[in-house]
Amino acid sequence: MICADFHVHTDFSGDSDTPMKDMIERAIDIGLTQICITDHMDHLYPEQYHMNFTFDVKEYFHQIEEMSEYYKDRIKIYKGIELGLVPKLAGWYQELVSKYSFDFVIGSSHIVDDLDPYYREYWEEKEEEEGYRGYFQTILDNMDAYDDFDTYGHIDYIVRYGPCKNQNYSYKKYADILDKILLAIIHKKKALEVNTSGYKYGLEQSHPHRDIIKRYKELGGKYITIGSDAHKPEHLAYDFRKISDILVSLGFEYYTIFEHRNPKLIKF
Ligand code: HSO
Ligand code: ZN
Ligand code: ZN
Ligand code: ZN
């Protein structure tokens, strides 16, 4: 059983309109004992998309603290954030993270060469493989530039936006660059995020794919954080039973949560 969801969005994120209260009540209803709110902070997200992926962190902390107090006998609530990393913004993110007492920081890649692969434009005049490799390369570049995160988010979620999704995708095809990513995560003593949102997208895989989680273990990876990436209450802890079976079958005995930026191992 997994009783903690460590990747959750609320209406502090530009792409969610779920009040924090609704997310937390759903978490309690489905039996979670711990939840980490990780709203989007994508500083200087490209203007052309007319989205605001930033929020007031002071107000965010205030709201999480209020909820923590109100629900303290029912659920433990952690203060997280999902950073939309870009190498040139490493200093800005570093300052933000050192200014506030987060429990947990997800480093994510959402932008490649000033484009969001969520939109079609990124895929124009590009083979799918080039698009996927470009995304994987940003993960390496972000980890070169920036160190102050706890887990790297959804490392292959790019496959949900490609022309043929994950039909032509496998660990083997991208093993060269995926191994570099996994080794960087391990050398930096960070965690690998296992994000179950792929199942919700009908991809029949988590992010990353099972074969990549398997490879992470072979290479010596130990820390795994687990999150649904829910933007709506009904997606909280999505397919957690399925992913716990997979992780246990791969030989993982523990998953990891973070409190005050320190890892805590929890038995499945
Ligand atoms: N960063 C989002 C993807 C997105 N881009 C939504 C624009 N809108 C992943 O949660
Ligand atoms: Zn989002
Ligand atoms: Zn993300
Ligand atoms: Zn997210």
Is there a contact between 107 and 151 (Cβ–Cβ < 8 Å)? Answer: yes
Take atom 1 of ligand 1 and give the residue whose Cα is closest.
Answer: 110
How many Cβ atoms from other residues are within 10 Å of residue 139's Cβ? 25
User: Contact, 255 vs 36, CB < 8 A?
Assistant: no
pLDDT value at residue 112: 98
Look-up: residue for tokens 């050398």?
A: 187
The pLDDT assigned to 142 comes to: 99
Report d(CA 243, CA 209) in Å as an integer.
11
Residue 159 CA to residue 128 CA, distance in Å, equals 9
Distance CA 125, CA 235 (A): 34
Look-up of token digits 């687990």:
226
For residue 173, what pLDDT band results from cuts at 50, 70 and 90?
very high
Q: Which residues of 217-226 are buried (b: 16+ CB within 10 A; e: fewer)?
A: beeebbbbbb
Residue-range definition of the domain harbouring residue 257: 4-267
pLDDT of amino acid 82: 99
Q: What is the ipTM of this complex?
A: 0.94
* Mean pLDDT of the residues in the chain: 98
CA 152/CA 108 separation, integer angstroms:
6
How much distance in Å is there from the Cα of 220 to the middle of ligand 1?
31
Q: What is the average per-residue pLDDT within 13-32? A: 98
What pLDDT does 190 receive? Answer: 98
Distance separating alpha carbons of residues 118 and 110, to the nearest angstrom = 8
Residue 9 CA, closest ligand 1 atom number: 10
Question: 213-248, pLDDT tens digit by residue?
Answer: 999 999 999 999 999 999 999 999 999 999 999 999
pLDDT in tens, 58-88: 999 999 999 999 999 999 999 999 999 999 9
Gap from CA of 201 to ligand 4 centroid (Å): 14
State how many domains the chain has: 1
Instruction: Give the binding-site residues of ligand 1, using a 6 Å CB cut-off.
Output: 15, 51, 110, 116, 118
Region 154-163: mean pLDDT is 98
Q: What is the arithmetic mean of pLDDT over 145-159? A: 98
* The pLDDT of residue 117: 98
Give me the pLDDT at residue 171, please.
98
> Rounded mean pLDDT of 14-38?
98
Predicted pLDDT of residue 212 = 99
The answer to whether the beta carbons of residues 206 and 214 sit under 8 Å apart is no
Mutate to test the pocket of ligand 1, among 11, 114, 118, 193 (most ligand atoms within 8 A of CB): 118
Ligand 1 atom index nearest CA of 116: 5
High-pLDDT (> 90) share of the chain, %:
100
- pLDDT digit string (tens) for 7-22? 999 999 999 999 999 9
Q: CB–CB of 256/263 below 8 Å?
A: yes
CA distance 105 to 215: 24
Q: Name the band, by pLDDT with cuts 50, 70 and 90, for residue 51.
A: very high
Average pLDDT for residues 201-216, to the nearest whole number? 98
Q: Give the pLDDT of residue 92.
A: 98
Residue 224 and residue 194 in contact, taking contact as beta carbons nearer than 8 Å: yes
Which amino acid residue places its CA nearest to atom 4 of ligand 1? 118
Compute the radius of gyration of the chain from its Cα atoms: 17
CA–CA separation, 240 and 21 (whole Å): 21
Please state the φ and ψ torsions of residue 227, each to the nearest 5 degrees. Answer: -150, 150
Q: What is the CATH number of the domain that holds 236?
A: 3.20.20.140
